[in-house]
Amino acid sequence: MSNQRASRLRFNFGFMLEATLGTFREIELGYPTIWVSDDVTLTPLEGKFGATRTSEGIYLSGTLTSNIPIECVRCLDEINLPIILKIDDLFYYPPLTAPAGEYIVGEDGFVDLAPLVRELSLLEVPMQPICKPECQGLCVQCGQNLNEGICDCQRDDIDPRFAALKQLLKD
């Protein structure tokens, strides 16, 4: 028995596999909070996307909006970063025709969007996210969040390698 949760981003497109080419359906999402994977939870996940039957499978396109909790690299506070996910992907059917690494429609007609939403969400996170441009970060000596107040640490801005030069200035 697996301890992994079932995806809430799993949709049945089996009816479209037998439909004529060009058949279109629109799906609207409105999840207050959704667990996408072990490392991604989105709050909320909203938007809509269209599904179109093509000769190669099901083409999905649309826009979703959400917030992803991340940690500020300066002060380590958690922030909810607003993200916009642009879906523009083909899910191949039958799966045997899919190039390696591409998304597929399962034999049962289900499409799991969780891997795609996870990938798009993580690509929206900047390399070094900060909570606000004027974030002061943490004190390097005591760890005090400098956004919340100043610490009592003595600041010596001289690099220890230049301490001998500092002594010359005093003389």
Domain that includes residue 154, residue range: 136-171
If asked whether residues 105 and 151 sit together in one domain, one would say no
Dump strand ranges (E) for the chain.
Answer: 10-12, 24-31, 34-37, 40-42, 45-53, 57-71, 78-92, 110-112
pLDDT of 2: 46
If asked whether residues 130 and 151 sit together in one domain, one would say no
The count of structural domains within the chain is 2
If asked whether residues 74 and 110 sit together in one domain, one would say yes
61 within domain boundaries:
yes
If asked whether residues 130 and 170 sit together in one domain, one would say no
Q: Which band of pLDDT confidence, cut at 50, 70 and 90, is reported for residue 98?
A: confident
Q: Which of 120, 7, 127, 6 is nearest to 66 (CA)?
A: 120
Asked whether 37 and 68 are in contact (CB, 8 A), the reply is: no
Q: Which band of pLDDT confidence, cut at 50, 70 and 90, is reported for residue 72?
A: very high
If asked whether residues 68 and 150 sit together in one domain, one would say no
**The pair of three-digit structure tokens given for residue 118, joined into one six-digit string:** 């996870």
pTM of the model: 0.82
76-100: average pLDDT: 93
67-93: average pLDDT: 95
pLDDT of 4: 58
If asked whether residues 71 and 155 sit together in one domain, one would say no
pLDDT above 70 for 73: yes
If asked whether residues 158 and 122 sit together in one domain, one would say no
What is the SS3 assignment for 17?
A: helix
pLDDT above 50 for 85: yes
pLDDT above 90 covers a percentage of the chain that reads: 73
Amino acid at 4: Q
If asked whether residues 46 and 81 sit together in one domain, one would say yes
The mean predicted confidence, pLDDT, of the chain is: 90
If asked whether residues 37 and 65 sit together in one domain, one would say yes
